[in-house]
Amino acid sequence: MQRTIILSVFLGFLVLTSCTRNEKQVNLFMGSSGDHGQVTPGATVPFGMISVCPDSDPGQHGGYDFAVPTISGISINRISGVGCSGTGGNIRIKPALPNETLSIVKGTEKAVPGYYETKLDNGVKCALTATHNMAVERYTFPWNAEKVFYIDFASSFESRNVSCSYNVTDANTIEGYVISPTACARGSYKLWFEFKTNHPFEVKNAGEENALIVFNDKVKTVEIRVTVSPIDQETARNEARLEEKSSFKKIKRSAKLQWREKLNKIEIEGGDDDLRTIYYTSLYRIYLSPMNVTSSEGHYLGTDGVVYKASDFTYYSSWSMWDAFRTKFPLLVILEDEVMSDIARSILELYRTGKKDWATPFESSPTVRTEHSQVMLLDAYKKGVENIDFTIAYNTMKEEAENLPTKTPDQRLETAYDLWALGEIADILGYTMDANDFSRRADSIFETTWKNEFMHITPQFEAMKGSGLYQGTRWQFRWAAPPYLNKMIEWVGMDTLEQQLTYFFENDLFNQGNEPDIHTPYIFNLLGSPEKSQKTIRDFLTRDMVHRYGGNAEYPEPFYGRAFRNHVEGYLPEMDEDDGTMSAWFIFGAMGFYPLLVGSDTYELTSPLFDRITIRANESTFTIRTENRKSIDQVVKTVLLNGETIEGTQITHEKIREGGELIFCY
């Protein structure tokens, strides 16, 4: 039996190592320069708590800025592409004296999934890798350099409400904790850590929040391992022991293979090198969160501060739901239905132990916000994700529904969407009276708001700054409640609404840089103009376009260029990548289908960028290919699913899940 297991593992290893290496097509520096995505090249693993990376000085929201070589040190965690001041940046290590200016030697950086390396201007070479809860940092010094490290145990991208404590337990070990704010300081998380070195050190200077440690002059390479746990010190210590016999090389290789397995779920053929790189970089970024914060013994910290046993699931934390419910989680439903089952259970437990719109005082990791979680849960359920027990959270969902925001028109549209989803959930549970009540409230809020605020277009619809709406114009929020597109058609008329949507795009009123209207190109399908959906999406994916709006306001001058580029300035100015949201938007657009109504089991069909796309996930293979296409500008004439013509412009999730072949004929 043991020989059979060993042989199976070996054969699995051969398959894994001989297959396509899509990780080589990822550009981790894309979008890492200035305010063009707010992403970083940190070393991490899929759904890992650790993303270890240099922090630029001054830095961007994720700490790192390709355009700024000066660094304050190397910290262990961050969230990709989010706003405010970011969140994370903990336990920063600087291989230099505290007042010494330190910079990356540009041209020496290398970053691939699971690994980062660079040389610093003091001659130190840095190599970084990670497990899901351990940063592994290797520093190689010049022979005549002082082997010194300045450690900031209270480092944090968001400086409010930070505290820490540490204790040197032996000549190789420091233990302690850091309490750090979540994004926009709306909550906090506490990480217990074990800081372990491969050589003994001497503490030269110990402050309340920092320490200076020195190694023997004969030491050339120092390896530091920082293991974290949100549960307690003993758990952090035990997690570190699990990897104490694993070499740097082994951990680095494990990270690479984990990424290879994820990135090989989709194979693409056709397209140019830049498009392929953007595609696989985008696929990489949807796996950066949420974070697996469950201990190896199956425990997790609830948002009520109590430690629980996760007996039959893995608990995840770190949410940017206001953004990611629209694209990233629907994409994970396709690629990772078992993981999505655990993610859904984690959100249900979040409701049970205490959920706030942003964050609580007892988070397990850096996080942002959780609005629209009920829509994400409904979407996963409708698409067949298993073990979603709404009864765990239903009473808390009902309480939340009584306090949904309604002060501004955009809030009222979003609340209508949430109440619509809750009505659907109540109906699933058989609570007919609740279902009717939530549906009635949602319908009433939407009708009153849309007719009074969005139906009759005025010149003020184009204003973003000072519009009274959150990060959008009235034009952009006009379309922000997909469950009610049929009502918009009924009240305005299909032809008129199509003309208005055409005007919206022809006059550059669409904002690719933020989420409220990113679904709008697909609305043309519902208005009888699928060719306009195809053209609009293709243009924003691949061509220079006029962009009038940034993340928070109109640009001083319109920006002309591509929204997605294989470049360090990879996204529009002020366009946050938003924790995988924009990456998933690109992936869906490139594959030729999109979840216009999150919370349903259907996708809108458009036109794929690539000649052939193969999705291998959830024990099935679904192939998308083109036929008779000589240019990506051609309009789709017919779509075939397993040889049968699809009537209309939609496909259900079940058909994708079952596997088969989708052919776009031109």
Q: List, in sequence order, the alpha helices (H) in 295-408.
A: 321-324, 328-335, 337-353, 373-382, 394-401
- Is 596:630 a contact under the CB 8 Å cutoff? no
Q: Map residue 593 onto helix, strand or coil.
A: strand
pLDDT recorded at residue 19: 62
Residue at token pair 């706003």: 83
- Is 37:81 a contact under the CB 8 Å cutoff? yes
User: What's the pLDDT band for 2 if we cut at 50, 70, 90?
Assistant: very low
Is 90 exceeded by the pLDDT of residue 246? yes
* Interval 295-330: pLDDT, tens: 999 999 999 999 999 989 999 999 999 999 999 999
- Is 321:370 a contact under the CB 8 Å cutoff? yes
Is 50 exceeded by the pLDDT of residue 10? no
Is 80 exceeded by the pLDDT of residue 290? yes
Q: Map residue 604 onto helix, strand or coil.
A: strand
pLDDT recorded at residue 84: 84
Is 70 exceeded by the pLDDT of residue 16? no
β-bridge pairing 620-627 and 660-665: parallel
- Counting every residue written for the chain, the total comes to 666
- Is the pTM higher than 0.85? The answer reads yes
Contacts of 91 (CB under 8 A, 6+ apart): 75, 76, 135, 151, 152, 153, 155, 178, 193, 195, 226, 228
| C-alpha to C-alpha distance for 439 and 406, rounded to whole angstroms | 16
Contacts of 555 (CB under 8 A, 6+ apart): 547, 548, 549, 573
The CB-side HSE value for 158 (13 A sphere, CA atoms) comes to: 26
User: What's the pLDDT band for 18 if we cut at 50, 70, 90?
Assistant: very low
| C-alpha to C-alpha distance for 305 and 554, rounded to whole angstroms | 42
Average pLDDT over all residues of the chain: 95
User: What's the pLDDT band for 14 if we cut at 50, 70, 90?
Assistant: very low
DSSP string for 155-221: --SS-TT-EEEEEEEETTEEEEEEEEE-GGGSSEEEEEEEEEESS-EEEEEE-SSEEEEEE-TT--E
* Interval 518-574: pLDDT, tens: 999 999 999 999 999 999 999 999 999 999 999 888 999 999 999 999 999 999 999
Is 70 exceeded by the pLDDT of residue 13? no
* Interval 364-409: pLDDT, tens: 999 999 999 999 999 999 999 999 999 999 999 999 999 999 999 9
What average pLDDT does range 3-8 have in this prediction? 34
